[in-house]
Structure 1
Amino acid sequence: MSTATRARHSHLTIADLCAELGVARSTFYDWRAANKAPRCIKLPNGEIRIRRADFEDWLITLEDAA
């Protein structure tokens, strides 16, 4: 698997996503409550992950809406 393909298949933590966007964790949870966050995966241990591909697709939808 190429580096680009592997990166596209990686998962982000909430902290990763917030750091990348420069937003507070509470902002992410506000977006999630309003169904405006990227699609999330809830792991059996209760932690949340966001697929890199879903995050990138979500960003594109925001660009299209602007």
Structure 2
Amino acid sequence: MASPKLKLAEVLEEIDMSRAAFYRMRARGQAPRLQGLPNGHLRLSRDDLDAWWAACEQRAA
């Protein structure tokens, strides 16, 4: 079964980050991978977000 897809607003709320800060991280290649939809909306899989969190925790340790 595919991982649930989260809206960008849901992700930003969960990680407590502003949209601008997220896009700065994305420009530096440090944000989790986003998937674009044909309507221009962005989604992030739960698996990708969880993997990104794990990588952040490893770098902080």
TM-score (norm 1): 0.82
Q: Which residue of 1 aligns with 2:58?
A: 64
**Gap runs ≥5 in structure 2:** none
| Equivalent residue, structure 2, for 1:36 | 30
Deviation at 1:20, TM superposition (A): 0.5
Which residue of 45, 50, 59 maps to 1:51?
Answer: 45
- Misfit runs of 4+, over 4 Å: none
- TM-score of the superposed pair, with normalisation by structure 2: 0.88
Residues 17-58 of structure 1, C-alpha deviation per residue, up to 9 Å, x if partnerless? 110011111111111111111011011111110000000000
Structure 1: which 5+ runs fail to align? none
* Residue identity in the other structure for 2:13: A
Return the index of the structure with the highest Cα Rg: 1
Measure how far apart 1:63 and its partner are: 0.6
- The aligned length equals 60
Query: In angstroms, what is the RMSD of aligned CA positions?
Result: 1.4
